[in-house]
Amino acid sequence: MKKTLIYLATSLLSVSAIAQDPTDTVIIKVGDGSKVIFAIKDKKDLETMKKYDFQKLMDDMIYKLEVRDSSRLSKPASSFVKKDSLKEVVSKNEETSFAAQEVQPLSHHEKKYRSHRMRNSFNIDVGTSNFLNNGNFPSQNNDLYSVRPWGSWYVALNSIYRTQMARKFFLEWGGGVSWYNFKFQNNQVAMSKDNTGVLFNLDSRNYGFSKSKLTAAYVNISVVPVIDLGGNRKKPSFFNGKGSSGFRFGLGPYAGYLIDSYSKQVYTADNSKKKEVHHDNYYLNNLRYGLRMQLGFDDVDFFFNYDMNSLFVANKGPQLNAFSFGVSF
């Protein structure tokens, strides 16, 4: 293909020198939709162009197109002049550019443009979780469902797209999976349920209990408008090492759907450590929705999630609004 392209270019240039007006343009069709264009402004330039080594020039141009680089040729124009004509050409024209180097498929241009406006990243949220009952922590009333801040971990794995809406304004949207782990203050708490609702009782067995918790897993989606003073197009991440140099703030909604839940007890019996896991929905709401706030600088974000609806179905359990906060990498 290279030899054919060079042959066509040389032939058409020779024809244009005789038959074309100085302002004419030579267009060489390549394949179904690509073109190589030579704009001839002065017949004197044809004599100069005859002194170029088109084999080297085309090789460089094709390389640029293969790597999808629309910048200038990787070498100065004078490097394509034949050795026996170098001084003459350089004295007439120190830098020559060709319209052909700007030719690339339109679809690639659109794709590149879109890629600059929207970037994808993988992020991990790690923090702690708890809940409020009418604005108060359950531990204030010594309720059996009160949890320990340390050990009640919240973890989320998210695929986030960052779309640039304006210079400093972005929309971070995407989805992922999250886990609430509510570790009860009292290690002897046992969860169960009946037709009236979920029950929290003390386990009457004579075991040495060391842990009791409730875990709920959700698949989530979120849309968070973000003002980033650093203007970083890609969402900052600890893993890619490319942070934003400015402060950023975001606030937006999220929603999730319950995909699994279970209670877990760990205890010692007969001098051996044992654990019991019971998978049940425990009248947990299938849907969760709320607001997410983000504060960030450099490559780390701090997040705060607050569920606006109750953790349990109405009249089937305590009215608890779950929340979580921590660090997003």
Nearest to 292 by CA among 260, 327, 253, 329: 253
Q: What is the pLDDT of residue 149?
A: 86
pLDDT reading at 306 higher than 80: yes
Which run of H or E residues covers position 6? helix 2-19
**Spatial distance between the Cα atoms of 75 and 63, rounded to a whole number of angstroms:** 12
Q: What is the pLDDT of residue 13?
A: 46
Q: 54-66 vs 2-19: helix axis angle to the nearest 10?
A: 120
Domain edges within the chain = 2-94, 111-328
pTM > 0.95: yes or no: no
Number of H helices, E strands in the chain: 5, 13
**Spatial distance between the Cα atoms of 198 and 285, rounded to a whole number of angstroms:** 12
**Spatial distance between the Cα atoms of 210 and 266, rounded to a whole number of angstroms:** 6
For the record, the structure tokens of 25 come out as 């343009």
pLDDT reading at 289 higher than 60: yes
Region of poorest pLDDT, from 55-59, 67-71, 107-111, 169-173? 107-111
Q: What is the pLDDT of residue 260?
A: 97
Which CATH fold would you assign to the domain 111-328? Porin (2.40.160)
